[in-house]
Every structure is written in C-alpha cells, then in structure tokens.
Chain A
Amino acid sequence: MNRRGFLQLISATAAAALTASCNRINSVAGTSPGPARLVRFPEKTEMILLTDRPPQLETPLHYFRQDLTPNEAFFVRWHLEGIPTSVDLRTFRLNVSGHVRQPLQLSVDELRSQFEPNSIVAVNQCSGNSRSFFEPRVPGGQWKHGAVGNAKWTGVSVKSILDRAQVKSGAVDVAFNGLDAPPLSSVADFVKALSIDHARDGEVMIAYAMNDQALPMVNGFPLRLVVPGWYGTYWVKALSDITVLPRAFSNFWTDKAYRIPKAANGTESPKDLAKDTVPINRFNVRSIFVRPGPDETVHSGIANEIEGVAFDSGHGIRRVEVSTDGGATWADARLDAEIGKYSWRRWRASWTPSSRGQYRLMARATNAIGETQSKQQWNRSGFMWNVIQETDVSVE
C-alpha cells in the first residue's frame, strides 16, 4: 500500500465514522435481529456474518447453484483471535519435523516447483454446519446450511512431503499447525492430527491454490491442509508446521473438543448424554436445497426447477429423492454428472404444482453403500447435521 492509498483509506474511514458511526450500529444486543447481516471482509464478497473476531462467515445459498464455490464466497471459520493477516512469502516456510530423518523447511515456491502437483475437487464442510436447526438448540456457531463449499484444490500430497522427510519407523500420528495463535497462554493452540496412514494415503494434500487462485487470507493463505471427505476442523489453515509423532497426538482440540457420541451418526439424547465419544471424522450423507430459495416465487401450473447439492465422504451419491407432499411420496431427482468422489453432486427435479397453496418439500440423498439421511438427530455440540431437509414453499 502506498502512502496516498493509505491516507485515502483513513480519511474515508474517518469521514464515515465521524458522520454516522454512533447511530449506524444497528444491532443492539437484547433486541430481535433482522434478516441476516451481510458483510464484506477482505478478499471476500458479501457474506452472512456470524462473528467478526475471529471471523465466522457463512456462504449465501445461491452460490451453491455452481459446481465450484467461488473463493470470495467460500465460508470462513477460525477458532482463535490471533489469525494471520500478513504473510511474507520470502520468509514463510512450511516446517516438517519430529520423527523424521530429514527435517524440511520449504517455501511456497519450493512446494510448487519441487513436488508433483495434483488437483482434487472436494467438499469442505464445517463440523457445525446447520447447527442452528438442532432442537433443543445448542451453543456454538449458529450456522444455517452455508458452512460448506466445494472447490478445486491444487497442491502436493502430504505423502510426497513426508517421503522426502523420511519418516522414521514407529510413527503414529502427524500433527498439523497453522499461523493462528491463541489470545491467552491458557488457550490451547489450534493443532489437529491425522494417523500416519491417513496422512500418507496420497489424497491428503497441502493446497496452495483454490479454484486455480491463491487462497484468500481468511481461507488459509498461503497453504491449507485438504482432508478429502473429512470435516473442516482437520483442514488446518495457514499451515506452517507438520510434526511427525512416535506416539498418539493429544491436545484440547482433539481430546475435549470436536468429539461426537460413538453411537451411529453421532447421535445422543439430551436426557442421556453419551459417555463414549470419539473425534469427529468423515462426513455423513446429506443434501441441501438450493432452489427454490427463500425469496423465490413458485407458480402453479408450470414447471418449476428444484435443485440442490448432495455429498458424502467419498463413496459417491447414487440417488436423491424429492418429495413435494411432506414425505408422503417421493420421486427421483436427476443427478448431474459426477465431478469426483469427494465433490458434491448437484441434483435437479422439475415440479409442476397443480394448485396454489402451501407445500412442504423434502430431499433425501443415498450414497453408493446405501447410507442415507437421518429422520432425527441430536448431539450436544451440534455436529454432523444430516436430517432430511424440509423447506416450506408458498405456491402462487
């Protein structure tokens, strides 16, 4: 930024702040909020604001009418206040250390030039996506269905990096840390781990590009771990340190947080909380209505296009059924061609309501091994929502 640009910025800020700021903060705690608050963060388009510090931004659903979610609209979720806001590629290094014979310090240029690049289209979804639909409600990021996105990730496999680092025998886990930092020394740094076999499966990768562009800072510039089919908590942003461990990894974010009941589909009862829990892991099967959107008018007597997306952890979506009568009858939706096993699959159906009135639409996805969506589901953390979605539509 040059001096003139900075002064323009500051003067614009000052003018706006002085003339209007005291009465333009329109959300006062304790009052009912209006519609979703849209904000624009650096390198991002208008997104639904959950929190500003650290940022949690949700993607407006209409972006899911595209196969790939644009970088500027891709959801954002950080845990710790100290998020990176500046990265100097001359000094940034990805450090690989621990239980290896050859520790590495790699620049982004070296990652690009010295390793075989590969690309994968994969869904990234927050563990708490759709949390606000659980009843009874649970504390946490109150996401609707937009803490998810589908992107083409390009980078290098973690396997190729670990191979160069020459992992010693007896390795158990691999820990991944990013540039974000806790606000207090008592808060655990956000570090996640995968088993050595998972990390070396050739699919887990370090992405330096997202949809063929550099990642936005708030999506993890310059490097982000990509763990296809697994929840976003493992997709460490601004990845800076890989540590191979000869023992099981242990920290707050794995031992206490991001755990699900061991029972099927991570479900438990509010009256009888599960005692056995496991770290959250693979996506379950789900679909999301994308159209009709909340503001769209549906007309009787003509064909209306219904559409959505469906995905799972990599087995592949084989069927999506749609009901327009509250679940009494179901019809198969048309599936778009598969993009890749970890991509979502878009689906469409044509609906011609015969008369005006209220209708309840439902969508239910099934994957290649017969797994389908839940009728009922609850857990204390609000994770892994995959209840068959219902959307009420008024036909005119």
Chain B
Amino acid sequence: MGAKNKSPILALGLAALIAGCGRLSNVAKEPDHDITNARTEAMPDSKPDNPVHAIMMPHDEPMFPPGPGRQEFVTECVVCHSPRYVTMQPRFSRATWLGEVNKMKNVYGAHVSEEQVQKITDYLVSINGQLDTGQAPKGTYGE
C-alpha cells in the first residue's frame, strides 16, 4: 500500500482505528454503517492472477465497566485474546473464575503476579460471577 500518510482522510481513518471508542464493529444488523461491504469490496481478490490472498480482521469487542481489577484485566488478559472470551461465558463461581485465571498464568504463561491473579479474579466475578446464592441466573448470560 503506497498511500502511507499522504492523505488527510487516511490519517483520520487510522486515528479512528486507533482510538478506543472507534473499534471496528461490523454488526450485521446495523445497515446504516455498512462497513462490511466497504471492506469486502476493498479486499484483495483471490483470483489466480493475484497470488497473494489477504484479509483484514475486524474487531468487535465489548466495553468493560469500571471496577476493581479492571486495569489488570484490560492490560494483562486482552493482550492474547478478545474480552469476549469472558463475556461469552455463563456466570461462574469465584472458584471457577480463579481456576481460569490460574490456567492462563500457569498453563499459558500469562505474565501476571499472584496479586494480579486475585485482582483479575475479583473483576471477573464482579462482572460475570454468580450471585450470592451460588446459583447462576439461568439463561441470562452466554446463552
């Protein structure tokens, strides 16, 4: 792409991509922002005369509410995967969430301290944990 930084429109576009609230979100049910089609048309084709086949991956990540441990979650977890790995889960007990965070640390080698493990677990329980009754509200999350 030889268009690097030569166009104000391009610069604006890149700025929007970088800005947090400008995450690409190609929700199919919102035809008024038809980013999807624009992207598809702009995609390099895969015809035999074009040996390079390439795509641009969209991002579609949820926002996370404030809370204790949010900073640790955002900096340490989202490095490797979308926060949707959390939001697609049902509400789990603290023990289950702690197990997941420890799996990330011990099995996958996430660079988190023991203190951060506790803070991240606090945060996951606060946004997607079970109620005090110990029962997940059935069918309300991740279904």
Does the CB pair A53–B52 fall under 8 Å?
no
* Chain A residues closer than 8 Å to B3, beta-carbon distance: 3, 6-7
Complexed CA–CA distance, A63 and B36 (Å) = 21
Does the CB pair A51–B22 fall under 8 Å?
no
Smallest beta-carbon distance B54→chain A, Å: 4
Complexed CA–CA distance, A18 and B23 (Å) = 10
8 Å CB contacts to B: which residues of A20-34?
A: 20-22, 24-30, 32-33
Within 8 Å by CB of A132, from B65, B80, B142, lies B142
A331 at the interface (CB under 8 A from B): no
8 Å CB contacts to B: which residues of A136-192?
A: 137, 139, 141-142, 183-187
**Stretch binding the partner chain, chosen from A87-95, A194-202, A278-286, A298-306:** A87-95
Within 8 Å by CB of A86, from B33, B36, B52, lies B52
A98 at the interface (CB under 8 A from B): no
Does the CB pair A29–B53 fall under 8 Å?
no
* Chain B residues closer than 8 Å to A16, beta-carbon distance: 33, 35
Within 8 Å by CB of A17, from B19, B36, B86, B128, lies B19
B87 at the interface (CB under 8 A from A): yes
Smallest beta-carbon distance A180→chain B, Å: 13
* Chain B residues closer than 8 Å to A43, beta-carbon distance: 43, 55
Known: A32-B141, A39-B60, A51-B88. Contact between A25 and B23, CB under 8 A? yes
* Chain B residues closer than 8 Å to A52, beta-carbon distance: 57-61, 82, 84
Does the CB pair B13–A13 fall under 8 Å?
yes
Chain A minimum-CB-distance residue to B79: A183
Interface string of A251-263 (1 = CB under 8 A from B): 0100010000000
Does the CB pair A28–B79 fall under 8 Å?
no
What are 24 A-B contacts defined by CB distance under 8 Å? Answer: A3-B2, A7-B3, A9-B42, A12-B34, A13-B16, A13-B38, A13-B39, A18-B22, A21-B22, A25-B21, A29-B62, A37-B60, A38-B28, A42-B56, A42-B57, A52-B58, A52-B60, A83-B57, A85-B57, A88-B52, A132-B143, A184-B80, A184-B109, A214-B53
Further contacts, 5 of them, CB under 8 A, given A52-B61, A137-B142: A13-B38, A17-B22, A20-B33, A83-B57, A90-B51
